Amino acid sequence: MKIIESSRIKEKAYIEKLENGLTVIIIPKENTNKKYIIWGTHFGSIDNRFIMPKTQEEVFIPDGVAHFLEHKMFEQKNGTNSLDTLMALGIDANAYTTNDHTAYLFECTNNFYEGLDELMDYVQNPYFTDENVEKEKGIIGQEIKMYDDDPGWQLYMNAMDCMYKENPIKIDIAGSVESISEITPDVLYKCYNTFYHPSNMVMVVCGDFKPEDLLEEIKKRLIPKESQSEIKRIYPEVEKTINKPYKEVEMEVSTPIFAIGFKDIESLKENRSEIVRKHIAIEILLNLLIGKSSDLYKELYESGELLEEPSLDYEFSDEYSHILISGQSKNPKKIQEKLENKIEELKKGLIQEDFERIKKKVYGDYVIEYNSVGDIARMFLADKMKQINSFDYIEEYDTVTKEYTEEVLKNVFKKENIILSVVKSKVTK
């Protein structure tokens, strides 16, 4: 197995690409009784159009299939449900779907190998029938309605709508009640057979393990599969401009919530370590702009325009890339205006002392990610889906200079790429 390590935080990861194409990453943690495993496929809500490697058939699927498939994987041919089986072992099991991947996971202190039996069995053995697919539509319909009432989720979806015209990141991960009504066992099997091939999957395990022994246990449980050539995914062309600068909706919230977005159109597909450096620089910039110790945050908080520090995110893949600053304010437009001014001010040059201090903070933020086996495993999986080695965030940290960060500021925080999404309050009695 290939070993990568970070001496600074005293962690190692063992990586192996198996013959069938599956990538296994094991991060041993000696001092914990908790074990965490996550098995992900590079299939998310944005993968809605692709060519099946075997038949060369082009498939265009309804919105929400990746997520629907995630729900249905637990159902077994013998009538049992794997979630129940795992829970009965005292194992906390779950699954989730994101824009670019779907993941099946469990965590436990006991019965790890019994859990591994079940996990590897159900992920490798789909069982979809007309009846069980129909039944799920009611449950997912309620999940969709739960998100319909979630102002934060609506805010995010509208921000995506502002930034992108055609990009599938605009699609709600769960789809809509209408789109999921079109889902059939046939669609699910097509997607399963395409995307749940080991060569399109990554397994990450974190806990007190001997990596070689664990790898053998994993291999034993793999079902042989014919090799598969690369899946051709079809996405719309990367858009160079935003869709619209502003969108608002009304919902029953006490104070409006807002998301200010910066669409990042600079593509870094080729250079992975550059992506990490850029990510670190953006984290530093966001903190300098409107983080807890910034002048702007102080001003906005003291004037009552911000209730607490906004959340700062940078989301990216090969198909999309954007920054989101979101929070709660009576006057979101004013926040945007002040933020724009602050950006112009920072573009004249960052203050060395502030830069060094925030850099230290960002270092701490990365190290804290290694506090829990779950966080570590999820991070390695999500990064691997983007071809990134998670340790690079710790290792590349030193190479991010003030000058480099200033350059990123100029390239990414452009006035013409700003959008604002707002959920206004509408209080009914």
Q: Which residues bind other proteins (CB under 8 A)?
A: 8-10, 31-34, 81, 83-84, 87-93, 107-110, 135, 138-143, 145-146, 148-149, 151, 251-255, 291-293, 298, 301-302, 304, 307, 328, 357-358, 360-365, 367-368, 370-373, 426, 428
- Nearer to other proteins by Cβ, of 40 and 256: the residue is 256
- Nearer to other proteins by Cβ, of 245 and 374: the residue is 374
- Nearer to other proteins by Cβ, of 108 and 312: the residue is 108
Q: From the CB of 112, what's the least distance to other proteins, in Å?
A: 12
Nearest of 281, 312, 261 to residue 414 by alpha carbon = 261
Q: From the CB of 74, what's the least distance to other proteins, in Å?
A: 9
What six digits make up the tokens of 10? 């005293």
Q: From the CB of 395, what's the least distance to other proteins, in Å?
A: 12
- Nearer to other proteins by Cβ, of 92 and 340: the residue is 92
* Residue 235 · residue 71 · CB < 8 Å: no
Alpha-carbon Rg for the chain in angstroms: 23
Cα dist. 206→1, 53, 80, 261 in Å? Answer: 16, 32, 28, 34
Q: From the CB of 203, what's the least distance to other proteins, in Å?
A: 21
- Nearer to other proteins by Cβ, of 31 and 56: the residue is 31
Of the candidates 16, 58, 70, 283, the residue annotated as catalytic is: 70
Q: Indicate if 70 belongs to the active site.
A: yes
- Nearer to other proteins by Cβ, of 142 and 267: the residue is 142
- Nearer to other proteins by Cβ, of 236 and 304: the residue is 304
What six digits make up the tokens of 26? 């094991």
- Nearer to other proteins by Cβ, of 346 and 362: the residue is 362
Q: From the CB of 61, what's the least distance to other proteins, in Å?
A: 22
Q: From the CB of 49, what's the least distance to other proteins, in Å?
A: 28
Q: From the CB of 26, what's the least distance to other proteins, in Å?
A: 18
Q: From the CB of 135, what's the least distance to other proteins, in Å?
A: 6
Cα dist. 90→96, 108, 350, 359 in Å? Answer: 20, 7, 52, 42
Return the active site residues.
70
